[in-house]
Structure 1
Amino acid sequence: MQPESVDLTLVAQALHWFDLPRFYEEVRRVSRANALLAVVSYNLLDITPELDALVRHLYHDVVGAYWAAERRYVETGYETLPFPFERVATPAFGLRASWDLSRLLGYFQSWSAVASYRAATGQDPVEPLREQFARAWGDQSERAVSWPLTIKLGRVA
């Protein structure tokens, strides 16, 4: 990437994996005057209070010990990571979808902690909760699913 050639750098759900000093140095190198760095993350989804309680049980109690240590940065909305740029205020944003129960259970299978649990124990941590999720889901074919987004926007000087 050419020096001073970028107006916006966007990082979505990945900043916690970066070598931050090197990354921030590169952002400064490639950014034009008044360029922006946007960092987006999301944590747990929201559906209904009953389903949310089951999601949090799976997340914290069942696979909690299997999350990588860096996951804590996502849980805090990256607030504990250094961000050496002038903050720019952003409105609240969210991600929304309409899912059936199968899609929700498949989403859990994409969690790295679920894969780590399965590798360590040889068991699927989601399967024992399937019936509880089905009861809480009820007879609706689809439900609204949402994730509050955390957006850190900074002006690169």
Structure 2
Amino acid sequence: MIEVIKSDITKISVDAIVNAANSSLMGGGGVDGAIHRAGGNTILDECKIILAKQGSCKTGQAVITTAGNLPAKFVIHTVGPIWNGGSNNESEKLADCYKNSLQLAVENNCKSVAFPSISTGVYRFPKEEAAHIAVKTVSDFLSKHSGIEKVIFVCFDDENETLINKEIGRI
């Protein structure tokens, strides 16, 4: 039910991929920029509609769009926390990213979801702690909700892949 691969998330064929977005939802660097580039203008146009209705997307929240030119059906955009030493509820906000993304997946009848390592790049969240939060939160959610058959952690680098695999081995 949970697996890890080292790959490019924009190439994964699942019902929904999760985008580690910024609060403006306008694309940026890292996985966010890659998803917007590969998915095309449809994703950006839908993000603009969401922003017109609700302003920004706050840390820990998630919103959903279609996937444009990507092999997935949907993109779930979630805003991860910026690491500031751990005293600003960063761990809880990161867990919220995973929970809220999975809840949107369930609500949209997604059977398969692919996650990147949220907040571990330019947002500087410690990778080991982020891996623990990601795997525990996903595992806990799946144990309480039916519908999602597969969650894939798509790692861009060896370090995140190793850390996620280590956490999966603990569940």
- Give the greater-gyration-radius structure (CA): 1
Structure number with greater CO (CA < 8 Å, separation at least 6) is: 1
If each structure's strand is expressed as a fraction of its own residues, which one has the higher value?
1
Shorter-chain TM-score bucket reads under 0.3
Give TM-score, length-normalised by structure 2.
Answer: 0.25
